[in-house]
Amino acid sequence: MTDVTAPDRALVTDPGSIPPHTLRRVVETALEEDAPWGDVTSETLIPAGATATATLTAREPGVLSGGGVFVSVMHAVDPAIAAEVHVADGSRFVAGDHLVTVQGPARSVLRAERVALNLVQRMSGVATLTATYVAAVAGTRARIVDTRKTTPGLRALERYAVRCGGGRNHRNSLSDAVMAKDNHLAVLLADGVDIGDAVRSARERLGHTVHLEVEVDRIDQIEPVVAAGVDTIMLDNFGPDELVAGIEVVAGRALVEASGGVTLDTVAAIAATGVDVVSVGALTHSARALDLGLDVVVTA
């Protein structure tokens, strides 16, 4: 087994952190898309009794996410495939490390190969990018969190990958919290509704367990929003000096989230201002797939 080290602050988790019904739906949909009437190539060329051993190998360094998902794809195609995961999700690896080994009917391994690879490469890319952002804010109070800018249908997997990289998750869906952003405020303004009054009314009608967050893009908007009783205020596209000034206005009455155009070049300076949360859409919308390969050896 490869000697690995988990990234700082990583929440190393297991595939059980992805709801089983969600994972099953993703895998079934992907397999149906890839082989709606079977794998014609393997069924034509590969002997029915052939067996194969395949090793998932890193071609570049990174943080693993999706080892269990990789195995789940294999098992969805054929429960007879045996699997051994060598590196835990949330762990770092280097080029050449063996991550997962599977063995079973060759036709089944070959049918599952591309879907299994696509998912683990995508998830590991998200985890690796997240770990880089987390490392950039080390020593500050700021948490790196994701956004809803995820690949449709893959949100649960990509958010799990963010956790594997040491990041945290924002609200999962529109159903999870009240979060008034710029377009909501624009509608209220057009209707002549004062934002402070709107937030205060929402606070009175919401249950005590429902989180209330409001986005602002000017310092003068902060006081009426915080005074109305928000749990979190998002300071959108504020520069470092503006963030410091905004935090002073909030004065500990709400969590402060920085958002908007956050990059690896700017995240350290943003975190150093003392914000509680830095939300980064790039964790999921701009992560590239990691270069992992599956080396297959087929025996008759």
E strand or H helix that includes residue 30: helix 20-34
d(CA 147, CA 35): 32
149 is catalytic: yes
Closest CA to 281 of 105, 159, 137: 159
Pairing of strands 62-63, 178-180: unpaired
* Annotated catalytic residue, options 39, 113, 215, 257: 215
- List 181, 200, 203, 253, catalytic entry: 181
N residues, the chain: 300
Q: Which of 14, 34, 114, 253 is catalytic?
A: 114
Q: What angle do CA 234, 209, 169 make, to 5 degrees?
A: 50
Cβ 148 vs Cβ 280: under 8 Å: no
> What's the angle, vertex CA 283, arms to CA 60 and CA 263, rounded to 5?
100
Among residues 9, 149, 168, 203, the one annotated as catalytic is 149
In 19-177, DSSP assigns E strands to 51-58, 62-63, 82-85, 92-93, 98-105, 143-145
Told to judge if 122 belongs to the known catalytic residues of this protein, a careful annotator would answer: no
Where does residue 8 rank: exposed (0-12), middle (13-18), buried (19+ CB within 10 A)? exposed
DSSP-based three-state secondary structure for 68? helix
Torsion of CA 204, 252, 138, 215, to 10 degrees: 40
Tell me the C-alpha distance between 104 and 54, whole Å: 9
Residue 236 designated active-site: yes
Residues 77, 112: contact at Cβ < 8 Å? yes
The single residue of 236, 242, 253, 291 carrying the catalytic annotation is 236
User: What are the catalytic residues?
Assistant: 114, 149, 181, 215, 236
